[in-house]
């Protein structure tokens, strides 16, 4: 019906990476002897696709320029969260180690990096990373990730020492100590850095405009020197609020919800009038089949409102407001963080989860209207309508 004369047929045991069985190969040979059956030939995927495109032309194929929604396996983005964190951390460290190794005068550690990459990629297997394996698998995977990060720490330290030794660290004037900062990202970056001094104390300084995939030398005063005045006020914390130059965040410390986020730079309220943010909700989650990677809402819904252990802290780098929220046999320790110049609020969560068939979500009711929003997806972002 398509007008073409070629058809690609995939065969084999699809799950667990299996190939064709003896029975499948025998059946293919039997079908070859049927005069009215289409002619069959084994082909490489590239050759098969080329034949199909030649037969039909690209215009015969519809183009889908959007994401593919699958009603199954939606829970794989959150199940076994430590695996997701370990993978992301290992990949970031590998990228940094590779970048630094290219600056090192020593020979490029190709074999060691390849071995660490193989351990990392092995744990992307379709049942390990999605969180649908048994417990023993994750004990092994966690141990492998620990090995990867330890090996990368060694490689990174060695390469960075070589880079630092080749930087011009001659002091422009007395009473200062050189600090080398490396930026492994592909864009210019600025950040506050805290480092130890030879005298045993620590000092905070602003590393401004460190070039992409490059290093820069900064000069910090020795202990006892007068501190350099900063034009920006440090972040602050109060009984039920934290703030910096960009935001003021107010919290109901009895429930853990955020009652106000005021954007100082744009002079506007972020939350809708009378609405709240950081609302923790527990939903009933009873999938029909696969508990580990499917989601099945039951209609059960309740809010986490029991909060205790409020602590407050602020220094030159960030302000923090922490508390623990409890529901059933579980608890979530949350830390609201505002960096010195950060235009956004960071909420760090550490969950001690002991519930079954329950799904935990967080909600913010924002005071804005938009036709679409940009969301992170694997390897990029995508716009989704409201």
| 3-state SS record for 234-302 | CCEECCCEEECCCEEEEEECCCCEEEEEEECCCCEECECCCCCECEEEEEEECCCCCCCCCCCEEEEEE
DSSP string, 257-270: EEEEEEETTTTEES
Say which DSSP state 186 is in: S
Can you tell me the distance from the alpha carbon of 306 to that of 329, in angstroms, rounded to the nearest whole number? 12
Q: What is the pLDDT of residue 17?
A: 65
How far is C-alpha 360 from the geometric centre of its chain's CA atoms? 19
Backbone angles phi, psi at 51, to 5 degrees: -65, -40
Comparing CA positions, the residue from 122, 148, 123, 150 lying closest to residue 138 is: 123
Q: What is the pLDDT of residue 72?
A: 83
Can you tell me the distance from the alpha carbon of 139 to that of 158, in angstroms, rounded to the nearest whole number? 29
pLDDT lower than 70: segments of the chain: 15-17, 173-174, 223-232, 386
DSSP string, 78-89: TSSHHHHHHHHH
Contact predicate 81/88, CB 8 Å: no
**Structure tokens, 99:** 């970048």
Angle, CA 127 vertex, CA 18 and CA 23 arms, to 5°: 15
**Structure tokens, 161:** 């020492």
The DSSP element (H or E) to which 350 belongs, if any, is: strand 346-352
Can you tell me the distance from the alpha carbon of 225 to that of 204, in angstroms, rounded to the nearest whole number? 13
Q: What is the pLDDT of residue 210?
A: 96
Can you tell me the distance from the alpha carbon of 319 to that of 342, in angstroms, rounded to the nearest whole number? 11
Can you tell me the distance from the alpha carbon of 227 to that of 355, in angstroms, rounded to the nearest whole number? 51
Residue 113, number of CB atoms within 10 A of its CB = 17
Q: What is the pLDDT of residue 224?
A: 62
Contact predicate 261/241, CB 8 Å: no
Is the Cα dihedral 131, 302, 250, 354 positive or negative? negative
Contact predicate 241/338, CB 8 Å: no
Global pTM reads 0.78
Angle, CA 195 vertex, CA 194 and CA 196 arms, to 5°: 140
Contact predicate 259/279, CB 8 Å: no
How far is C-alpha 267 from the geometric centre of its chain's CA atoms? 31
Comparing CA positions, the residue from 119, 163, 158, 160 lying closest to residue 142 is: 119
Say which DSSP state 280 is in: E
Comparing CA positions, the residue from 77, 72, 99, 75 lying closest to residue 88 is: 77
- 126-140 pLDDT, tens digit per residue, is 889 999 899 999 999
- 325-359 pLDDT, tens digit per residue, is 999 999 999 999 999 889 999 999 999 999 999 99
Contact predicate 362/280, CB 8 Å: yes
Q: What is the pLDDT of residue 302?
A: 96
Backbone angles phi, psi at 104, to 5 degrees: -75, 140
Can you tell me the distance from the alpha carbon of 352 to that of 330, in angstroms, rounded to the nearest whole number? 6
Can you tell me the distance from the alpha carbon of 20 to that of 12, in angstroms, rounded to the nearest whole number? 4
């Amino acid at each position: 019906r398509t007008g073409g004369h070629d058809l690609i047929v995939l065969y084999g045991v699809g799950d667990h990476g299996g190939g064709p069985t003896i029975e499948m190969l025998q059946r293919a040979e039997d079908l070859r002897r049927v005069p009215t059956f289409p002619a069959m030939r084994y082909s490489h995927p590239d050759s098969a696709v080329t034949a199909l495109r030649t037969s039909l032309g690209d215009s015969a194929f519809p183009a889908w320029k959007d994401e593919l929604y699958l009603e199954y396996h939606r829970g794989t983005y959150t199940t076994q969260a430590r695996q997701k964190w370990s993978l992301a951390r290992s990949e970031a460290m590998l990228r940094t180690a590779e970048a630094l190794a290219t600056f090192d005068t020593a020979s490029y550690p190709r074999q060691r990096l390849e071995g660490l990459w193989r351990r990392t990629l092995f744990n992307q297997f379709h049942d390990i990373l999605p969180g649908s394996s048994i417990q023993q698998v994750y004990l092994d995977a966690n141990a492998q990730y620990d090995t990867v990060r330890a090996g990368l720490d060694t490689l990174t330290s060695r390469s960075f020492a070589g880079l630092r030794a080749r930087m011009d660290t001659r002091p422009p004037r007395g009473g200062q100590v050189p600090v080398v900062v490396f930026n492994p990202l592909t864009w210019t970056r600025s950040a506050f850095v805290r480092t130890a001094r030879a005298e045993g104390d620590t000092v905070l300084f602003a590393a401004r405009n460190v070039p992409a995939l490059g290093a820069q030398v900064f000069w910090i005063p020795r202990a006892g020197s007068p501190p350099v005045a900063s034009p920006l006020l440090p972040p602050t914390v109060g009984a039920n609020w934290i703030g910096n130059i960009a935001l003021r965040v107010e919290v109901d410390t009895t429930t853990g919800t955020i009652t106000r986020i005021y954007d100082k730079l744009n002079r506007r309220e972020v939350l809708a009038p009378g609405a709240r943010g950081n609302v923790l909700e527990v939903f009933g989650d009873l999938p029909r089949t696969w508990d580990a990677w499917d989601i099945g809402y039951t209609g059960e819904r309740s809010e986490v409102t029991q909060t205790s252990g409020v602590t407050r802290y602020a220094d030159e780098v960030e302000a923090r407001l922490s508390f623990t929220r409890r529901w059933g046999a579980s608890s979530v320790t949350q830390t609201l963080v505002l960096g010195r110049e950060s235009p956004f609020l960071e909420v760090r969560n550490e969950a001690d989860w002991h519930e079954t068939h329950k799904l935990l979500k967080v909600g913010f009711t924002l005071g804005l209207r938009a036709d679409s929003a940009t969301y992170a997806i694997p390897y990029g972002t995508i716009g989704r309508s409201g």
